[in-house]
Chain A
């Protein structure tokens, strides 16, 4: 820890303000709470919303895990851990079970999370309606009136044109039948993990200055028509070439020498644990 900086970088007043916004977000699941996002030494669009949540929540006894697209070793995850180490002496881990606080970009770990853990997700575009309406002034009103018809229409148009819903990541979900929520660009593979979870999910968008939450045991349903069920990504016939798992999200890779295609767990820590068994 660099003694020239406050514990967890931000001044205490700013951290308190972020925690207040977080409490409000927990109280109204799926509602986007505006907050006075602070500028950090890390790029806006590089996870500053998630980092502000992490900084405002972290205490000396926490154990932190940071993952980027499933990997603990990815440059951005390493960089964020390095920043937190600059302004705290908190222990870090790669094991999902050991962590009290996990910050992630675009994945939910394969190991189910428990009721004493918080998952902080980084969000580029918090507004699920942005794809159908660019103006915040109008999307705010649409949420207030629960007017999600344009979103349903988009789903329907996709179905007519391509024979299926073609949304890849950031699949829009209804929270407790009230607010439409953007779960951040997690793959559809992870979307069902939001439903009736044990842990608290917090979403932070730094550039867009919004915080929202899915508290434990919340009903979170991906938008889907009764006769066209929601579908996850599938990897038929494929398994991880390292640990052999066939039930995880896989990264598709090419051998740099031979060009041969193979698959590997996106969650690198889960993969290592499976191999160690």
Chain B
């Protein structure tokens, strides 16, 4: 009999996993972890953001292990996180004190603290630079180190947000400080209507492409149309955890690189207009995702009939692990369920003939 009904699964899986190494082993050149971490940092940032785990070294390792697939790398980091106990929650991060490496406003030319263009591909011509193909890594590294050596460090001066100014002017609502403990989406089922903390966490971990597409739909007319980026800042912020023996004290545990965006749209204020904020914050330098997050946050606060304004639609369909997991399960055998569908289809045809 030629047919072997789904047996030999074990051998097939082992052979399949061996074949993966074939794809990773196509050259004798190695992909150093340090090189992935330092030279593919935007990819590393994206993976860390979607995984919700800040670890450039592990993100680089995950990328190396899975041929650079974003969703597989996110998967590896998430699964690893499940084996760790959560010991602490950090105290709220004050981004005013960010050691900024980039800060721009599309709303005002002059802002308190000043604009700083920093590193961006925005103003490059997207022409393939054939010189990069043959560049010397050592020479590049030495050139950058030499540049750094002649700089003198500047003290970090805390910088208010552009929105603070508008709040003082009464154009944006000033809401009381909300010191409620945030809803932890990694340990609870998201329920609707979702608290804003749950919304922001979910958006921050969302798939970059999903969030960008949603925000784009809002800009194109399936939403409130064209917000203004009040401010985008990228830089290093300090993380602290509460000191167990004295609640007034906290312990510094390190710093992370992040991007924060506030976008502004007009909102109704009983016959007048006011401005309302959308907020985005992501790991690393994933700027478009931070902007998309701010746009979608605002759309969700506004509510309405468009997809980007539908809380359940937005918050339940953007997780990389969930979407890719469910899509890929379609490859599993469905012999029993398909047989049942066949039974249902055939019977209606037989009876109606």
Contacts and interface: CB of A to CB of B under 8 A. Distances in A.
A49 to B, nearest CB: 11
B335 A251 contact: yes
Contact of A164 (B1, B3, B9, B351): B351
B2 A40 contact: no
Contacts of A44: 321-322, 324-326
A187 B348 contact: no
Interface in A218-277: 233-234, 249-257, 264, 266, 268
Interface of A is mostly: loop
Nearest to B4: A256
Given A163-B348, A166-B348, A233-B343, A39 B9 contact: no
B189 interface: yes
Contact of B341 (A14, A68, A168, A268): A168
B335 A168 contact: no
26 contacts: A11-B85, A14-B82, A34-B189, A36-B188, A36-B189, A37-B189, A39-B321, A41-B76, A44-B324, A44-B325, A44-B326, A46-B329, A46-B332, A71-B333, A73-B9, A75-B13, A82-B13, A124-B326, A124-B329, A136-B191, A136-B312, A162-B348, A168-B337, A185-B337, A251-B335, A253-B5
A17 to B, nearest CB: 8
A264 B5 contact: yes
Interface residues of A, number: 70
Given A11-B85, A45-B327, A74 B340 contact: no
B336 A107 contact: yes
B9 A74 contact: yes
Given A79-B13, A251-B339, A36 B186 contact: yes
A77 B9 contact: yes
The number of chain B residues touching the other chain, given as a range, is 35 or more
A76 B75 CA distance: 18
B83 interface: yes
Given A169-B337, A250-B339, 14 more contacts: A39-B81, A44-B321, A44-B324, A45-B325, A45-B326, A73-B10, A75-B9, A76-B332, A79-B13, A124-B326, A166-B344, A168-B343, A186-B336, A249-B339
Interface string B14-41: 0000000000000000000000000000
A134 B307 CA distance: 13
Interface stretch (A2-10, A23-31, A148-156, A175-183): A2-10
Given A78-B9, A79-B13, A187-B339, A69 B81 contact: no
A135 B321 contact: no
B333 A255 contact: no
A43 B325 contact: yes
A257 B322 CA distance: 39
A251 B334 CA distance: 10
Contacts of A162: 348, 352
Most buried by A among B6, B75, B186, B351: B6
B189 A75 contact: no
The 4 closest A-B pairs by CB, nearest first: A44-B325, A34-B189, A45-B326, A45-B329
Contacts of A11: 83-85
Contacts of B83: 5-6, 9-11
Nearest to A41: B79
A39 B342 contact: no
B344 A167 contact: yes
Most buried by A among B3, B13, B342: B3
A35 B82 CA distance: 14
A128 interface: no
Nearest to B185: A36
Given A45-B328, A166-B348, A255-B1, A106 B191 contact: no
B343 to A, nearest CB: 4
A207 B324 CA distance: 11
B336 A106 contact: yes
Nearest to B324: A43
A137 interface: yes
Contacts of A168: 337, 340-341, 343-344
B82 A38 contact: yes
B321 A78 contact: no
Given A13-B85, A39-B79, A207-B326, A75 B333 contact: yes
A82 B17 CA distance: 13
A89 to B, nearest CB: 18
Contacts of B340: 168-169, 187-189, 233
Contacts of A193: none
A159 B49 CA distance: 49
Given A38-B82, A69-B337, A73-B6, A163 B332 contact: no
A46 B325 contact: yes
Contact of B348 (A78, A124, A164, A188): A164
Nearest to B312: A135
Contacts of A124: 326, 329
Contact of A209 (B9, B189, B335): B189
A87 to B, nearest CB: 9
A68 B333 contact: yes
Nearest to B74: A39
A117 B352 CA distance: 44
B192 A255 contact: no
Nearest to A33: B189
B82 A76 contact: no
Interface string B199-222: 000000000000000000000000
